[in-house]
Each structure stands twice: as structure tokens, then as C-alpha cells.
Amino acid sequence: DAGVIQSPRHEVTEMGQEVTLRCKPISGHDYLFWYRQTMMRGLELLIYFNNNVPIDDSGMPEDRFSAKMPNASFSTLKIQPSEPRDSAVYFCASALTAGRREQYFGPGTRLTVT
Amino acid sequence: RKEVEQDPGPFNVPEGATVAFNCTYSNSASQSFFWYRQDCRKEPKLLMSVYSSGNEDGRFTAQLNRASQYISLLIRDSKLSDSATYLCVVNDRGGATNKLIFGTGTLLAVQP
């Protein structure tokens, strides 16, 4: 079975550029999560969706970040304009429930903003 | 105070050793608890859930102390392959949201 799929796996961009990260959750999972991981702050939840609807976006750092889920099999996280402090690994995860069962993580996108 | 706190380590132990990690959480209303494992440059993966009565999975034992709000993970007979970062995870219920809060992880290095 295919797990969570993320693309690209690596992204290097210059400050000020738009960055779009993509995620395909596991089929049948109703919940999709976007996380950011850095050495300093660990794994932080940015936003999560239930049935394509954003439920909690309190972790989105600022207006430069936006996320969409147009259908059950696709989500994007966009950063515009990007800044060097956005450099991190961005993980997408999906789950059958929000907080009581396992979340399945994708391989992550390693973003470097120069 | 952080919602989930862990000793970052590293814990350097020889093969065959027993090692224990602790984790504390701040939300007394939390109901679900987990340990995830993350290998270097990989994604986190569920190691085991933590139940109120304590639970064991092979060499791994997890325990929960609700009164003190801490969770533990015990690894017996450590293997080289156990080297990884172990993330303590707690659910956080609040209003309409129900999400997992991850600790920053404890790094384990098992030495030959």
C-alpha cells in the first residue's frame, strides 16, 4: 500500500520566492496534518484538516503561510514570500482520527531558503 | 512550561544495556499517549501506544502515571538498531480541536 506521498523531497530556493509543498494522504484517511520540524523547536503542528476542511490553523506562523485541501487526495502548503527562517523539514501526515490513533507521516520535504 | 518535555540526551549506552526515558506533559485532560521513533533524516513512526495499566511490546515497556503526568519508555537488551530519536506524544483536546503534541525527542545511541 502506498503511504503518504510528499513532493518535492528537497527544495532549495532564494529568499522572496514562492514555495509550494504537496501531499497525497493515505486513501480513506479523513485527517491530514502539516508539521514543521527544526532542531530548535522540534516537530510543530502547522494546520490540520478534517474531510478537507481546515480545523485548526493556530500553528501557522504568519500570513506568508497558507494551506489548502481541494479534495480528499491532495493538499498543498504554500509559503510566499519565503524567508531563510522557513528552512526546515515539512512533514505531511494523515490519520483515521485526530488525536487518539496513529498518524502516518510522509517522508518530508527538506526546504532550504537562502 | 512546554506542553511535553523530554530530556534531549543523548543517551549513549552499550549493546545489551537497559535504558529508560521519561517524559512529562502539562495538560491533565490528555487522554492518549504514544511513543514515536524517528531515525536520522526519516519521518516519525509509531513505536507504541501507552495505556493506563502499562504495556509491553517485546523489549519495550511503556508506563503512564496520570497523577504525576509523566510517561516512561524502557528498552531492555538494547540493539544497535534501536539507535534513533524517541518522541513522546500526547493528545491535546481543546474546544473543537483534538491534536497530537510532540516532545522534542530523546536521542539514543547504542554503541557496539
pLDDT tens digits, residue range B51-73? 888 899 999 999 999 999 999 99
pLDDT tier for residue A13 given thresholds of 50, 70 and 90: very high
Euclidean distance between CA atoms A44 and A59, whole angstroms: 7
pLDDT of residue B89: 94
Looking at beta carbons, which residues of chain B come within 8 Å of A56?
96-97, 99
- In the DSSP assignment, the letter for residue A51 is T
Q: Which residues, given as ranges, of chain B have pLDDT below 50?
A: 95
Nearest CA in chain A to B92: A99
Contact assessment for residue A27 and residue A5, using Cβ atoms and an 8 Å cutoff: no
Euclidean distance between CA atoms B112 and B101, whole angstroms: 33
Query: What's the gap in Å between the CA of B77 and the closest CA on chain A?
Result: 26
CA distances from B11 to B4, B40, B60, B62, B110 (A): 19, 15, 16, 18, 8
Nearest CA in chain A to B106: A42
pLDDT of residue A101: 73
CA distances from A59 to A48, A109, B65 (A): 9, 18, 29
Q: How many CB pairs under 8 A join A and B?
A: 53
- Give the residue-averaged pLDDT of A42-61: 93
CA neighbor of A95 nearest in space, from B51, B89, B53, B59: B89
Report whether pLDDT(A1) > 70.
Answer: no
Report whether pLDDT(A97) > 80.
Answer: no
pLDDT of residue B27: 87
Query: What's the gap in Å between the CA of B6 and the closest CA on chain A?
Result: 11
pLDDT of residue A48: 93
Kind plus residue range of the DSSP H or E element containing A106: none
